[in-house]
Structures are given as structure tokens and as C-alpha cells.
Amino acid sequence: MPRAARLTGCGWELHFTNRTASGTGSDKYYRVLLIENMVLINYGRRGTTGQFLAHVFSAPPGAQAKARDLTNEKAAEGYRITRELTVFELDAPDIVALTELSAGTHRVDGDPARWLVGRFKYASSEQGTQLEGASA
């Protein structure tokens, strides 16, 4: 079945900050982007591109459950929402390398993953879902 030319994705972002008076400690982000049957996770220290993991499922409900579980795990660790649910449109050709991954968990890198995060951050800024403490 041919893939649609445009896809709708959604995402949110969490942060964990644990700074001491001397300025040392943690300042990490965790982004969850959900597109059809894939959850793209982008995580790392504030100010870095971070790492990317793609969790691919046979159907969207599996991806939705994974996104929920990962978000709940981070919230239990003390992460707080800094970008609320943001819905965004994207052109399928821009992320074709991600949408063609086989089922399972994949460490990914490259332009499609970075572009997708950039699209999410732009949409968040435009929609006003970016909260205090969101990453740049």
C-alpha cells in the first residue's frame, strides 16, 4: 500500500534538571515523537543534539502504548513537561528512511531524525505549546 504524501505526527518534551548551588548536576531533555506506528525518542543533555531511538511496531496502538509507557517512566523519575502535546504535519519523503524501518528498536541518526525534531520544535513554538524551561 503506498504511503501518504503527508503524515501527521505529534510529540511532547520533558526535562529533568537537578542543579546544585555550584552549578553542577543534570540538565537533560527527553522528546517523544509519535508518527503512525513509530515512536522516535530523542534524548540527551541540554544544548546537544542527543541520541535517537526509533521503536517501530506493526500497528499504531503499539506505538501509542510505548509512548505512554516511556513518558510515565520519565515522569516517575522526576522529568516535567516543557513542551505540551503538539500536532504537526510533515511530508513523508522527508522521513522515508524512518518510516521504512522494520519492527523493533533501532538506534538512528542523520538528517531525517534531526529534521523531524526541528519540525516538532517549530510547530511547538507556533502553537504555543512550548513552556518555560523548554530546550532551545
Could you state, in order of their start, the residue ranges of all structural domains in the chain? Answer: 6-127
| Percentage of the residues of the chain whose pLDDT score is greater than 70 | 94
Per-residue pLDDT, averaged over 82-106, amounts to 88
DSSP, res 103: S
Length of the chain: 136
- Tell how far CA 18 is from the center of its chain: 21
Return the C-alpha cell found at 12: 511532547
Residue 1: band (very low, low, confident or very high) from pLDDT cuts 50, 70, 90: very low
What does pLDDT average to over the chain? 91
Per-residue pLDDT, averaged over 73-89, amounts to 97
10: closest CA among 39, 30, 42?
Answer: 39
| H-state helical runs in 2-131 | 60-76, 96-99, 111-127
For residues 5-23, one letter each, b for 16 or more C-beta atoms within 10 angstroms of the residue's C-beta and e for the rest, the string is eebebbbbbbbbeeeeeee
Tell which wins on pLDDT, 94 or 63.
Answer: 63
Return the C-alpha cell found at 35: 508518527
**Is residue 94's pLDDT more than 90?**
no
**Is residue 4's pLDDT more than 70?**
no
- Which value, in Å, is the radius of gyration of the alpha carbons in the chain? 15
For residues 115-125, one letter each, b for 16 or more C-beta atoms within 10 angstroms of the residue's C-beta and e for the rest, the string is ebbebbbebbe
The predicted pLDDT at position 23 comes to 67
Specify the CATH class of 6-127 in words. Answer: mainly beta
Q: Is pTM, for the whole model, over 0.75? A: yes
Residue 21: band (very low, low, confident or very high) from pLDDT cuts 50, 70, 90: low
Return the C-alpha cell found at 118: 526541528
